[in-house]
Structure 1
Amino acid sequence: MSDTFFLIWVIFQLLLILYVNHKRKSIINAYTLATLVYFGSYAYPYLYVLGYTDTLFNESIFYSDYASSAIWSYFLFKCTFDVVYILQLNLRRKNRSQTLNNHLILKNEKIVKFYRRFNSTHICVLYVISLFLFIVGAGGLEEFIFPKTRFEFDNEKIVNLAYIISLLTLFYSLLRHYNYQQNHILIFCGLCYVLVYPMSLSGRAVVLPFVMIVIASYFSERGLSKLKLLLLTFFISAFYINALYVRNNGIGIDNFILGFGKTYSDIPLIFDFFFATVSGFATTTLTHAGLADGTINIKPDPLLFLLYISPIPSFILPTELFVPYQSLTPHFGFSIGINSDIVSESILWFGSYGMLLVGGIIGWIANFVDVRALSKDIIAKLLFFSFTYLTLMSNIASMRASSRFIIIFMTLIFLKWMLVKLTKSTKGL
């Protein structure tokens, strides 16, 4: 891809962001989020190839001979994403907003009633349940707080279930806090509790609770002051950089806390740290290289992908069949886990032009999230958080892992829609 074409395309992407923001009447939407994150993951590193920057992240797995193939793969992925999203944006029914406004008061009443029934006591009970699951899955309280190695527990699936319960409980308590009844003590205690697991492992997911606060407050009437937003940005930067440092110098929550004394000076470098660890460009070049020389020798399998991406729990599925598609480690024999990014994985699952299909699907999901956000209810907020998680994690984790939240919520929405349709058809008989 030539310099001129690449720069023209980057300018076009900026114009599309302005266009979508104008149509949506909001600068915070799924399209803008995905465009900026994926640009940083794939397009920004290409500036190094063109000679505009001196830094390339994940250079150890970067194959320069396949940089052009990688950027074209991303280009096709983003093109179908844009086309599907923009078409849906302009074909959306004009009366959609009016319909949502007509039902807004009724929905608010239902939400308040739900907040009143599912109160602080229930939230605390869920936290206790998740703690119990953490202890059982990790093999003890000490193993949970001071693990010897990363992600090696007695039962990793129980630990993952506990973490999901704790995350969703915190997000619900934040929504309740900003939209119904404030409870600063519960929020603070919940935040500290949910941070324990990622801090003990020095995981990048340590920033998720802070991102949740931003999302929950944005979709509320109270909003978030500039000072609080600046403070949250500081915490996100500090915790993220500290997680990257501590994981290479001894894990455990004690080491994580002590690590702040050595990493605080690197907070201004958050931009470089972020792209150094959330970049799919290098792994895309690696995937193209492996496919070209035969190191990666697997056949596309769309049917297996449907099983892979389904909401069915992993302990029921033959997960060993998914590994060659979602990880590059078994092909290249890396000593550490190197996951396939979303563009690479789409090629492995669907063939050379699989990114066209996956890009279109992600574009459809982004539009669905933005349209659903007009209702401003709990589901809309959960969907936006889920899409944020998908967009960020799909650069460094498998599509199955990064899409769990959004797949589950969209499945529940679909089942509810089917139930309503079935009820209406039954009444008509």
Structure 2
Amino acid sequence: MGGFYSIPNFLSTTGNRQLAEIFAGEGTSIEADSVLFEIDVPKNSRTVAYANISEDSAFGEGENEVLFTMGTVFRIISAEKINERAWLVKLKLSDDENEDEETRQVQLRFKNEIISSNGTMSFARLASRMARYGVAVKFYDLLLQNPPVDDEFIPLSKIHEELGFVYYSLQQYENAIEHYEASIQIDLEEYPVTDRRFFKRCNDLGCAYLANRDFMKAEQILNTAMRIIEDISEPDQTSSEIYVKIIADFFRAKKSDISIVSLNEGEDSPIHKFQSLVEKYPNSLSLGNDIGTVYYVKGNYEKAMEMYELCLANQLSVDRYDPCVARTYSNMGFVHHDTGRYDMAIEFFNKELKILMKNHHSNHLEISGATKAMAICYYMQGDLKQALACWTKVLDMQIYNFSEIHPTVDEAMTWIIRISEKLAPQESEEEST
């Protein structure tokens, strides 16, 4: 109670209580509880987060449909059981003018990620944020065909950069590489390669090459990004954070194949700068995470957890619902997984999943990844039924995002078949008894 509830999509509601109860299911499902939301909208609220669309609704005026925009933040007032399988949750619409700083931070994050002076750009970002990547690609393509001018001007390099991220999310790495490279080439016409505007994009491009298993090119690009930062006489916090992220990306690649990249680990190694960076930027929201990843890959789990916990404390003090918190929980979960503490791993993956569900569409690939991690932990524990349930969810999400012909779909199907074959004798024995 007193916490916040935010939806990553548009929320359609009705002023008709009986109709809402029908939509909620009235507790008739045997697999899940029904939840009825009762939303209090203050009359003096100045927010523009909702609109009554009864006259334009496809369901007619009788439904009295009110639509809340994506990212709307509600305060949780109470939650009570109506019956054995149904809940009534009372929410209050948060008001920018009257709410506390924590609420404003949640709302501001959504706005900053999406809103642009150009409407098409905003729709592209919105579609990407909702994991509607195919739709996002179409909007970004429109921007490339008809570049914004005058007051709505957006650099072509920025459009290519964001489109590269969309293709990376779709795991279409060759397309991602094409657009990241286009973004860099456009700005190279005006700025030297050593300009600090390039190091983040070089890092993104390097990661795309890593994902595409072009390890030689990845190492070349990531080293370029590192040199740009090393040449800055007084790197700021952002530069330092990306520098450490690049090192972490090297080590993530090493975890997959120890031979694919090389990184100097001697006395002059960037790794030996970690402690000074942590001391210089003690409130960083990412340094501890990436440094922890390096220690994790090197097998120093105690030091990795120390870094993750430091990072988590900073993140929770700013915004406990931010996706970066989910990534830290995920990293902590993998430490527990690798050390055989599967109960603890599942606990952290569950925490990750709850945050991701607040921030993303229900079929988002990050949600699929967290569910997959839990499935593997359940399997290692011998809880085959829970493992099967998780893998089934993963399969549904992967088919939604890709198609029935995709390596990740094949992986999920292989696991489902394997677990089902192991469960068959158990189920037969249970039926016979």
TM-score scaled by length of structure 2: 0.25
Q: Which has the higher strand share?
A: 2
TM-score scaled by length of structure 1: 0.25
Q: Which has the higher helix share?
A: 1
Bigger radius of gyration: 2
